[in-house]
């Protein structure tokens, strides 16, 4: 993974808040972004590259 996600993969909001995170997709190493709200609520994300789904 070379880049950090700029937006939440689930909601599309910018990752500017404290508690936001970016990590490599377990399926393909593409950048996945998570906002604090989506993380706390357990909203599913889908990797746009390989369609891997996670909480």
With bands split at pLDDT 50, 70 and 90, how would you rate the model's confidence at 2?
low
Euclidean distance between CA atoms 16 and 29, whole angstroms: 22
**Which residues, at least 6 apart from 23, have a Cβ–Cβ distance to it below 8 Å?**
31, 32, 34
* CA pseudo-torsion sign 14, 11, 38, 4: negative
Q: Does 53 score more than 80 pLDDT? A: yes
Predicted local distance difference test score (pLDDT) of residue 3: 86
Residues 4-42: tens digit of each pLDDT: 999 999 999 999 999 999 999 999 999 999 999 999 999
Euclidean distance between CA atoms 43 and 49, whole angstroms: 18
Predicted local distance difference test score (pLDDT) of residue 48: 93
């Amino acid at each position: 993974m070379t880049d950090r996600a700029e937006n939440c993969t689930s909601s599309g909001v910018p990752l500017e808040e404290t508690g936001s995170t970016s990590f490599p997709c377990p399926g393909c190493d593409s950048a996945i972004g998570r906002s604090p709200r989506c993380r706390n609520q357990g909203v599913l994300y889908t990797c746009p590259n390989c369609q891997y789904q996670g909480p």
